[in-house]
A and B are shown apart, each in its own frame.
Chain A
Amino acid sequence: MRTSMRVAITGVGVVNAGIVGDSAALAAFLAAPRPAPGVGAGGVARVPSSALAGAIDVAEARRLSRVCQLSIAAAKLAVAESGVDAARGLGLVVGTEFGDLASTHVFADGFLERGPSGLSPLLFPNTVMNTMAATTAIAVGARELALTLNAPTVAGELAVARAAAAIASGQAPAVLAGGVDEIDPVVERALPALGFAADRLGEGAAFLMLEAYEIAQARGATILGQVAAAAWRSLPARPWGVGRRRRSRAIHTVLERAGIDAAHLGAVYSSASGDRRRDAWEAAVLAAALGPEAPPAATLARLLGRHAGLGVLRVAAAAWTARSGLLPAATEPSTVMTRVWPRPGLVHGLGRGGAHVALVVAGA
């Protein structure tokens, strides 16, 4: 879908192991980054209960699963910062890799322990992956399109790309784009067996308020950045596998649409997360697309752990980098900062199985 119309970012909401807050909290973290507790090969950077409790109303939280709480808390932060009135038309696109598997297990355990009488009708809706979008739509009053997108690794980037396309094609004047995941104990046990032992995993949610630039400007909103172009494609790979093809139609498309060549990108935010085979494939794809003049690259997975929210957070971070000319370095120690040209940057995601997303993100 086209993003010929300029898409503004007017609000940010983040709840993860290292950040709770809006764009100011994200900027403070990026300016002095440090790894969140728990992040590292084979570990999970979890959101502390105290952080989540402080981000969501107690009465509201009582009715919600934890992953829905994460989603609503981050979404409300983004809405509040943007000042968008949902009554004027608000859409919602949520990316997730694992959904609410935790509730699914509890629901199944009820039956396995007590038979049909152990089944909770209240839990059942949570077993469907759109539960975060459904509860978040209710919480923020989003009544236009509400999509849940499921993809390995790149669900967050995909949600932002799809939401930006919805703005560009006029499907809604404002769309809240987010990613959310929690790591269920069963998933945590399974991932090493699937070959993800070195992956840095995290959990949490991040949301961006996207609006048509002219609408945001006309209402006097603070514009934090722009999605100048977005595209998603796929590269051949077996399910959960990595492929060999390096030619990226997604990167080519976004550079062309944004009217920028690789040499003039300020920075790249990639989806590298410690999964060595996938990271190597993504590096090869980026090298083939950007050539020898590729700008410095960063990934925040070493700081916060990979989850769908991180893909969204990277878009906000790329806007911050385009404004500030600062980039958290990709290599260890991860707290080193690199100075870059304050120019539009590329946000790139390549998942196992070949799901592939690229966005060009500019400053305000």
Chain B
Amino acid sequence: MRRVVVTGLGAVTPHGIGVKAYWSGLASGACAIRPLSVIETDGFRCRIGGEVPEMVGGSTRRTRADRFALAAAEEALSDAGLGAGERDEAALVVGAVGGGMLEAEEWYWAASRGGDARLVPAVRSVLPCAHADTLAGRLRVRGPRHTVVTACSSGAVAVAEAATLIAEGVVDVAVAGGVDSITRICFMGFNALKLLDLAPCRPFDRDRRGMSIGEGAGFLVLEEAAAARARGARVYAELAGHGMTTDAYHITAPEPEGDGMVRAIRAALRAARVSPTAVTYVNAHGTGTPQNDRVEARALERVFGEGALLVSSTKSMIGHTMAAAGSLEAIATVLALGHGVVPPTANLETPDPDVHFDCVPRTPRDATLDCAISNSFGFGGQNVTLLFRRR
């Protein structure tokens, strides 16, 4: 089996533009969830989220999400030092949900109120696959290309898909990640479901009240290990295994015993040939909703037992960045392995007594980590676990 390593990282997050700003925020436990300004929030109970604080460069004719994706993917490619020849053969896998919905909403809102609105640009950009087409053209990445939509786990699925393309020998290099901008549809939907906390989310807290939405993009360059070594690439970590399963249970609620999550985690352990005891850190899906955190903790306990496992939630600092969440959390996991620092769960004041793990409240933790997993779960019971090993 060909081994897959991570050689490039790129991020646009509520902590700022670039991986450096992202890690600086995570490693200090800073919460970037603030009042939203990119959309109107009048009349809604929850009015906060993790918003990218400065606009990235590039043509203003591109959608906000496309600009996030371009900035993050360009950073990852540049970080990996990939030349034109390698880009020409590289696979591109993008996890997406909202596409250019933010701009399409502006058209639809204006059109519904009888205003002047240009239909074509809105429709051109609205589909999730628009990001991949934009990235492929702009970055000259011309290998196999596909866009996956698995709701909130889309970014992690994109990384898993790219790893499979490399492991199966289709390509030696792949660029993979997820992207989403805040949209009205998403904001209104989670408000309607009453899944949003009025304060910044508090995953694994006894008093947690729900999630906070967010936005951003996270991209990774993955390479076949020998090919990366041959070109002298810097290796961050090995993506040693992954697991993907489906609950087939409910359109929004997770299966109460966490069966699908357990199967995904175990599949990742099996693929990586790693025993549960070798995993010392879990970057949790950790949304902060009562239901998700309870079921995820139950699933972790079924696989790992109660014990010394460190568990933390990136979403406590940047919000739930939707399709970007899985890939941004993969980056957080890779950086945690490399730095020997576990980012904390911000806003965690009173640990939930039903969660039998150290959820690293508020303050980062130094730790020697060899193997870590990143969990991502989506509406429709779409479960993904990525397992990274330190190099």
Cβ of B112 within 8 Å of any chain A Cβ, yes or no, is: yes
Query: Out of A99, A108, A165, which one reaches B108, CB within 8 Å?
Result: A108
Select from chain A the residue with minimum beta-carbon distance to B122: A190
Partner among A1, A99, A119, A146 whose Cβ is within 8 Å of the Cβ of B382: A146
Which residues in window 135-185 of A have CB below 8 A to B? 135, 137-138, 140-152, 158, 162, 165, 169, 171
Are A131 and B380 neighbours in the complex by a CB distance under 8 Å? yes
Asked if B43 and A115 sit within 8 Å, CB to CB, the answer is yes
Which A residues are in CB contact (< 8 Å) with B191?
Answer: 116, 119
The answer to whether A331 has its CB under 8 Å from any CB of chain B is no
Contacting residues, chain A, for B368 (C-beta < 8 A): none
Q: Which of A158, A194, A235 is B120 in contact with, Cβ under 8 Å?
A: A194
Q: Does A48 contact B (CB under 8 A)?
A: no
Question: Chain B 240-270, CB within 8 Å of chain A: the 1/0 string?
Answer: 0000111111111000000010010000000
Which residues of B, 75-107, contact A by the 8 Å Cβ criterion? 92, 96-97, 105
- In the complex, the number of residue pairs spanning A and B with C-beta atoms less than 8 Å apart equals 196
Contact between chains at A112 and B109 (CB < 8 Å): yes
Asked if A130 meets B246 with Cβ closer than 8 Å, knowing A108-B105, A119-B191, A236-B142, the reply is no
- State the CA gap A140–B378 with chains docked (Å): 19
Contact B143 A169 (CB under 8 A): no
Chain B residues near A237 (CB-CB < 8 A): 133, 137
Asked if B128 is at the interface (CB within 8 A of a chain A CB), the reply is yes
Nearest to B137 among chain A residues (CB) is A238
With A97-B127, A107-B189, A148-B148 as known contacts, state yes or no: A134 contacts B137, CB within 8 Å: no
Q: Which B358-383 residues have a C-beta within 8 angstroms of A?
A: 378-382
A-chain residues with CB within 8 Å of residue B250 when the two chains form the complex = 138
Q: Are B185 and A104 in touch, CB under 8 angstroms? A: yes
Asked if B192 is at the interface (CB within 8 A of a chain A CB), the reply is yes
Say yes or no: is A121 at the interface (Cβ < 8 Å to chain B): yes
**A239 contacts the other chain (CB 8 A):** yes
Chain B positions 104-129 with a Cβ under 8 Å from a chain A Cβ: 105, 108-109, 112-113, 119-120, 123-124, 127-129
Judge if B225 is at the interface, Cβ distance under 8 Å: no
Chain B interface size, as a band, is 35 or more
Question: How far apart are A129's CB and chain B's nearest CB, in angstroms?
Answer: 4
Chain A residues bordering chain B, tally (CB within 8 A): 67
Which of B5-13, B163-171, B310-318, B327-335 is the contact stretch? Answer: B163-171
Contact status A116-B43, CB under 8 Å: yes
A281 contacts B by Cβ under 8 Å: no
- Least CB distance, A122 to chain B, in whole angstroms: 9
Please pick, from B96, B97, B150, B193, the residue contacting A124 in the complex, using a CB distance under 8 A. B193
Q: Which residues of chain A in 336-355 are interfacial with respect to chain B, using CB atoms and an 8 Å cutoff?
A: 353-355
Q: Give min CB distance, B232 to chain A, whole Å.
A: 27
The interface bits of chain A over 234-256 (1 if a CB of B lies within 8 angstroms of the residue's CB, else 0) are 11111110000000000000000
Q: Does A327 contact B (CB under 8 A)?
A: no
| A169 and B164 contact, Cβ closer than 8 Å, known pairs A128-B97, A144-B245 | yes
Q: How far is the CA of A326 from the CA of B366 in the complex (A)?
A: 68
Interfacial residues of chain B within 144-178, with CB under 8 A of chain A in the complex? 144-151, 157, 161, 164-165, 168-170
Known: A127-B185, A144-B246. A234 touches B120 (CB 8 A): no
Q: Which of B129, B169, B379 has the most CB of A within 10 A?
A: B129
List B contacts of A217 (CB < 8 A). Answer: none
Residue in A120, A124, A194 whose Cβ sees the most chain B Cβ within 10 Å:
A124
Neighbouring B residues of A121 by C-beta, 8 Å: 189, 192-194
A187 within 8 A of B: yes
Determine if B147 and A239 form an interchain contact, defined as CB atoms under 8 angstroms apart.
no
Q: Evaluate contact between B148 and A125: CB separation under 8 angstroms.
A: no
A88 to chain B, nearest CB (A): 14
What residues of A have a CB within 8 angstroms of the CB of B189 in the complex?
107, 119, 121, 124-125, 127
In contact, A150 and B379 (Cβ under 8 angstroms): no
Q: Does B130 contact A (CB under 8 A)?
A: yes
Q: Do A147 and B188 touch (CB < 8 A)?
A: no
A233 within 8 A of B: yes
In the assembled complex, A29 has its CB within 8 A of some CB on chain B: no
Which residues on A sit within 8 Å (CB–CB) of B378?
Answer: 130
B 170-213 contacts with A by CB, 8 A = 170, 184-185, 188-194
Question: Smallest distance from the beta carbon of A104 to chain B beta carbons, Å?
Answer: 7
Q: Verify if B280 is at the interface (C-beta below 8 Å from A).
A: no
8 Å CB contact of A134 from B170, B193, B380: B380
Contact A128-B151, Cβ < 8 Å, known A1-B168, A141-B248: yes
Q: In the complex, what residues of B have CB within 8 A of residue A145's CB?
A: 244-246
**Residues of A close to B136: CB separation below 8 A:** 234, 236, 354
Interface check A189, CB cutoff 8 A? yes
B225-249 residues at the A interface, CB under 8 angstroms:
244-249
Contact flag A134-B381 (CB < 8 Å), given A144-B246, A165-B168, A355-B145: yes
- Complex CA gap A143/B264 in Å reads 10
CB distance from A131 to the nearest CB of B (A): 7
- Chain A residue numbers with a CB within 8 Å of B157 are 147
Asked whether any CB of chain B lies closer than 8 Å to the CB of A78, the reply is no
Chain A residues, Cβ within 8 Å of B142: 233-236
Assuming A1-B164, A162-B146, A239-B124, is B251 touching A125 (CB within 8 A)?
yes
How near does chain B come to A355, taking the closest CB pair, in angstroms?
6
* Chain B neighbourhood of A194, CB < 8 A: 120, 123-124
Task: Provide the bound-state CA to CA distance between A130 and B133, in Å.
Answer: 20
Task: Give bound CA distance, A97 to B126, whole Å.
Answer: 11
A-B contact pairs, 15 of them (CB 8 A): A107-B188, A108-B105, A116-B188, A121-B194, A128-B379, A129-B97, A130-B378, A145-B245, A145-B246, A171-B244, A193-B123, A234-B136, A236-B136, A237-B133, A354-B145
Q: Which 7 A-B pairs have the closest CB atoms?
A: A134-B380, A124-B189, A239-B133, A119-B192, A146-B246, A353-B133, A190-B123
Partner-B contacts on A (CB < 8 A) = 1-2, 92, 97-99, 104-105, 107-109, 111-112, 115-116, 119-121, 124-125, 127-131, 133-135, 137-138, 140-152, 158, 162, 165, 169, 171, 186-187, 189-190, 193-194, 231-240, 353-355
Apart from the given pairs A236-B137, A355-B146, 12 other A-B contacts in the complex at a CB distance below 8 Å: A97-B127, A116-B191, A128-B149, A128-B380, A138-B251, A143-B245, A148-B148, A149-B146, A151-B147, A165-B164, A165-B168, A190-B123
